[in-house]
Amino acid sequence: MDVLWCFLSKNHKPYTKNRYSFSVSGFQIFSAEEIEALRYAGQVLHECIDYVGKLVVPGITTRELDRAAEAFIRKHEGAEPAFMGYHGYPATLCTSVNEECVHGIPGDRVLKEGDIIAVDCGVKYKGLNTDACKSFPVGNISPEAHRLFDVTIAALDAGVAAVRKGARVGDISAAVQKTVEGAGFSVVSALTGHGLGKTLHQFPDVPNVGEAGTGPVLPLHTLIAIEPITCTGKDGIVDGKDLWTIKTRDGSLSAHFEHTVLVTEEGCEVIA
Ligand code: MF3
Ligand code: CO
């Protein structure tokens, strides 16, 4: 099945009670050997994002960050950038600055003191994809931006804590939504997490808003990316001119944190 599972789920509706059966079909399940490959990809990805984060200073361009990330990944035998060429995407990183929510294309933009930047990256190894993102401050940032980071990290952690065999996708969505809205910020609800593995985006959608006890039931050893994308203003998006970059409609600041997680019996393993 070669589908693009609505990672930009603009027409996405949150899961509601009884819309889905208990069927687990559609999920990709990984063997022990594949899990080893995923762990390796995830380790390279984790180190890559931390390495890029250390390069985030006023005066650097997003293209320089992208080149550094690509070189870092290719230094690891068998590892390659997962985003490059995906539906024509031209880079290793997505670098989304300030009011940009996701899929900012690296280029000539020079980062300046007070900006925030989401560094989103994927590593492919032995045909398997991992996907993760962290937002970073450029020099000193406003207290509000700091708080948005803290709340988005807390939302991601709450989503991850809801993952275990037999949990439903809506359990994750509800945990994320509650954390963000409880802190007075908004979820950018058109953008969702997703299953991944053989492809970067596959079944299921993992929305950042929804009801606990709804949605598909997670089977053992499937892989999902949880990625709350939040903003300080109102929920709503607009497309950038390049048709990749997505921004907040009201121009408010947006943050993005993402983990790839493997479902286990008692919970999950953070792969990246
Ligand atoms: N974490 C991003 C997402 O799931 C990765 C986008 S890769 C791109 O949408 F190639 F589509 F940009
Ligand atoms: Co993703």
Give 3's pLDDT tier (boundaries 50, 70, 90).
Answer: very low
pLDDT at residue 147 greater than cutoff 90? yes
- Looking from the CA of residue 103, the nearest atom of ligand 1 is 12
Element (H, E) at 187: strand 186-187
- Looking from the CA of residue 94, the nearest atom of ligand 1 is 12
pLDDT at residue 145 greater than cutoff 80? yes
Taking CA atoms, 107 is separated from 62, 104, 135, in Å, by 5, 9, 18
pLDDT at residue 12, rounded to an integer = 53
Distance CA 142, CA 166 (A): 41
- Looking from the CA of residue 191, the nearest atom of ligand 1 is 9
Ligand 1 pocket, residue 205 CB under 6 Å: no
Residue predicted with more confidence, 212 or 10: 212
- Residues 206-231 have pLDDT tens digits of 999 999 999 999 999 999 999 999 99
pLDDT at residue 16, rounded to an integer = 54
pLDDT at residue 27, rounded to an integer = 96
- Residues 83-140 have pLDDT tens digits of 999 999 999 999 999 999 999 999 999 999 999 999 999 999 999 999 999 999 999 9
* Ordered domains of the chain (ranges, CATH): 22-270 (3.90.230.10)
Q: How far is the CA of 201 from the centre of ligand 2 (A)?
A: 7
Which one of 80, 86, 94 would you pick to mutate in the ligand 1 pocket, going by the greatest count of ligand atoms within 8 A of its CB? 94
Ligand 1 pocket, residue 86 CB under 6 Å: yes
Beta bridge partners of 125: 79, 128
Query: Considering the chain, what is the average pLDDT of its residues?
Result: 93
Distance CA 227, CA 186 (A): 14
